[in-house]
Structure 1
Amino acid sequence: MLNGSWDAVNKSEVHKMSSNYLQSVEGLVKNIKINSNSSNVFSPNLQFKFCSSSNCNVSMFGIGVNLNRTTGILKVVAIKNVMKKLKNNFLDMLPTSLLISATLENNSDSFLQITLEFPEKTLNINTKPHCVFWNTSEKEWSDAGCVIKPSNGNGTGQVVCECNHLTSFSVLMAKEDISTEVLDIITYVGLSVSICSLLIFLTIEALVWSAVVKSNLSHFRHTAMVNIATFLLLADISFLASEGDSETWCLVLTLCKHLFFLAMFSWMLCMSVMLVHQLIFVFSPLRKRVFMFLASSVGYVCPVLIVGSSYMYCKYTNKPYYDKKTCWLVYERLLEGSIHAFILPVGTVILTNLFSMVVVIATLVKSSVPDASKVDDKETAKSIIKVVVFLTPVFGVTWIIGFAQLLLDKDNPMVTVASYSFTILNSFQGLFIFITGCLAEQKIVEQLTRMQLHLKPTTPRVDFVLD
């Protein structure tokens, strides 16, 4: 196959055949079991070598491949006469005749750096090296996330590709991986702050639960907030764990993020709809059993059904459910791709919450918070109003920016602005919940103050008696 020119086949079929050939070769190499009797493979158009030492330095058709790691087995295959047959979406680039694929198995290193050393005679001083990888889901080349370093200046050309990093939050609502080092730093910082904030919030809720939940309305409010915080925490942790080469692990994390984000928005929907019901139907309050049944159906069952049905649909229609590089849903084009099983439900929730916020504001303009039979209900209604009025614009604007990323062309300068805005707002959502659900909640602050005063040691009294 590598010897042939494939001239008898049209161009689109050549692209498809070469992509399938490359994927098959990589799958074969990945499944090769290495033992002490294994040997390297040499042929005019294909070479296969493996390395089990900590410092691997192999040469494939005169090009050196170097990788330092502590554990694992490196498998490298070099293929000739297939690069020009693959689809070239970098029209200003001329593909070389050699393709190198490296696979690392049983490795636990968090950071890896692969170095390709090109002999001086293979480099043209008028050309600029460009490091790319073959995106199996998009069937095209991509340079997303790869950092290229120039020659080391010692007479031997060298290109260093560093592509192993945390995918930033911007990839959640992007047509392709648009990660940068700055976006990754923002994601790390934001996730760390959000996870700590959510853990503190859930801990405080557990400590003050019995003291602040004294009516059905307050029970509704705190139940919704705890579920929102819990699912956002699980989604952040899943996002943070989205590194690694295991396809199974990547699929599991994609399912988890899809489910947890949908569940978080579903509970936000429950809280806003419950608030509107409380404001409009003053004399027909929801019973606890009814609310828990409806909220559980919307907050737990609906997300599971959406995620399960979208995964099964993609599986049985042979469409990709997730991107193996980003560990997230796939965007193909408008209204096509698994990411629409996330966009459409979230968009529906955002629109409903915005409508609820308008209803709440209009009701408050006409009158004050409805008189309730208990003072506790009035205070709880006010706290829910603060949460909905603050979080709805923050969460809504965040994901509206994300939706805009899908509509913008990648060459549009606004894509960068949208990516940074979306990443910053999304990664710090846990902090927003902590501020609105805890620090801005008067009853929680008062209860924490009482607990602090109760635990504060008192100074023993000493009386002096003069006899």
Structure 2
Amino acid sequence: MTRNDTSYMRHVCVVNVAVSLLIADIWFIVGAAVSDSEETSVGSCTAATFFIHFFYLALFFWMLVSALLLFYRTVMVLSHMTRSTMLAIAFTLGYGAPLIIAVVTVAATAGSEGYIRENKICWLNWDKTKALLAFVIPALAIVAINFLVMIVVLFKMLRRGVGNTNQSNDKHALVVIARCVAILTPLFGLTWGFGIGIMAWPEAAGLHIVFAVLNSLQGLFILVFGTLLDSKVREALARRVRLPSSDSGGTESTRAGTSSNVFDFFRRVRRRNVYNVSEAAVTSASGTSGTYSVTDTSENT
């Protein structure tokens, strides 16, 4: 799945998005436990807040890297960047930028005891120092950039006439848009945009519920749409399960049958087509170049 630079970078982004989300959620739980304890230590609460801030920012910046990679491979198909250069840019942006923001925030506000919230709640202060802006501004800016990237990708797809041209143009365009949005929304973190509504209408219980449900399931959506419904991932898993071993022929046949049933299930879920963020080959006048785009991965059966 990672034989070329585009596939490799896509999976690097997905892995780091997943790792950042996992660690951020763990620290969120730790911070909640520290806040609920009877004797909350300022030092432990500050440490928890710092790591929550850092890893959630890392999550957003890795989603930004994923969006920029998609934009680069969709729009700038003739340009070429080496794998080492892309990795250096990705890790600098993915972890370097969040670290700088988190360190500057704690250094600027901790001295005035304005880093964490009042009553020793383990999250960034708002009333006294507005430290929360160090999270809100980068996060919403990245969500806005990723949304624009998704619009550009949709526009390019519709212009190129992706998919089966025998279908009704209007109906097919709606299908392409719906599937592209389903794939890119969790990967780009667009559901965090509901935070704008929460800030504007803090008393709206419905917005809080939608925000909590969608963002708590972000990891699940990435697993389903970004991994399990990716034909290349399923084929690689099928090959791994069906590797020859020293078991008897009957056991091997049973394993193959079980594997076939499992992946038949995912094929039925996919129906005929699933548009996912994967690598596609684009032929140019000077040769061929891999592009990271939303492509039709339908299987011929």
Provide the TM-score with structure 2 as the length reference.
0.69
Aligned ranges 1:449-464 → 2 under 5 Å: 449-454=238-243, 457-459=247-249
Matching residue of 2:16 = 227
Q: Specify the SS of the correspondent of 1:354.
A: helix
Structure 2 residue 25 is the aligned partner of structure 1 residue 236: yes
**CA offsets per residue over residues 39-79 of structure 1, 9 Å max, x none?**
xxxxxxxxxxxxxxxxxxxxxxxxxxxxxxxxxxxxxxxxx
Please say which structure displays the higher CA radius of gyration: 1
Structure 2 residue 109 is the aligned partner of structure 1 residue 320: no
Matching residue of 1:347 = 140
Which consecutive unaligned segments of at least 5 residues does structure 1 have?
Answer: 1-211, 370-385, 462-467
**CA offsets per residue over residues 172-207 of structure 1, 9 Å max, x none?**
xxxxxxxxxxxxxxxxxxxxxxxxxxxxxxxxxxxx
Q: Pick closer, same or farther for the CA change 1:254–1:357 going to 2, 3 Å.
A: same
Choose from 406, 421, 426 the match for 2:199.
406
Aligned ranges 1:91-240 → 2 under 5 Å: 212-240=1-29
**CA offsets per residue over residues 313-348 of structure 1, 9 Å max, x none?**
1134x1511125431112229xx6111000000111
Contact persistence 1:401–1:422 (CA under 8 A): yes
Structure number with higher strand proportion: 1
Contact persistence 1:231–1:261 (CA under 8 A): yes
Q: Pick closer, same or farther for the CA change 1:220–1:434 going to 2, 3 Å.
A: same
Q: Specify the SS of the correspondent of 1:447.
A: helix
Matching residue of 1:253 = 48
Given residue 46 of structure 2, which amino acid in structure 1 is its aligned partner? L
Matching residue of 1:305 = 100
Contact persistence 1:357–1:389 (CA under 8 A): no
Choose from 67, 75, 86 the match for 1:280.
75
Q: Specify the SS of the correspondent of 1:282.
A: coil
Mapped to 2, the partners of 1:419 and 1:275 lie a distance apart of 30
Deviation at 1:281?
Answer: 1.4
Using the aligned pairs only, state the percent identity. 30
Contact persistence 1:350–1:392 (CA under 8 A): no
Mapped to 2, the partners of 1:416 and 1:394 lie a distance apart of 26
Choose from 342, 362, 372 the match for 2:155.
362
Choose from 230, 241, 257 the match for 1:441.
230
Mapped to 2, the partners of 1:438 and 1:400 lie a distance apart of 23
Contact persistence 1:227–1:267 (CA under 8 A): yes
Structure 2 residue 292 is the aligned partner of structure 1 residue 292: no
Given residue 392 of structure 1, which amino acid in structure 2 is its aligned partner? T
Matching residue of 2:258 = none
Given residue 405 of structure 1, which amino acid in structure 2 is its aligned partner? I
Structure 2 residue 219 is the aligned partner of structure 1 residue 425: no
Contact persistence 1:387–1:437 (CA under 8 A): no
Mapped to 2, the partners of 1:266 and 1:223 lie a distance apart of 13
Contact persistence 1:262–1:346 (CA under 8 A): yes
Deviation at 1:365?
Answer: 1.0
Structure number with higher helix proportion: 2
Mapped to 2, the partners of 1:423 and 1:325 lie a distance apart of 23
Between 1:286-295 and 1:345-354, the stretch displaced more is 286-295
Deviation at 1:421?
Answer: 1.3
Mapped to 2, the partners of 1:249 and 1:337 lie a distance apart of 21
Mapped to 1, the partners of 2:182 and 2:66 lie a distance apart of 12
Mapped to 2, the partners of 1:445 and 1:248 lie a distance apart of 46
Provide the TM-score with structure 1 as the length reference.
0.46
Mapped to 2, the partners of 1:388 and 1:272 lie a distance apart of 13
Deviation at 1:388?
Answer: 7.4
Contact persistence 1:278–1:285 (CA under 8 A): no
Contact persistence 1:320–1:330 (CA under 8 A): yes
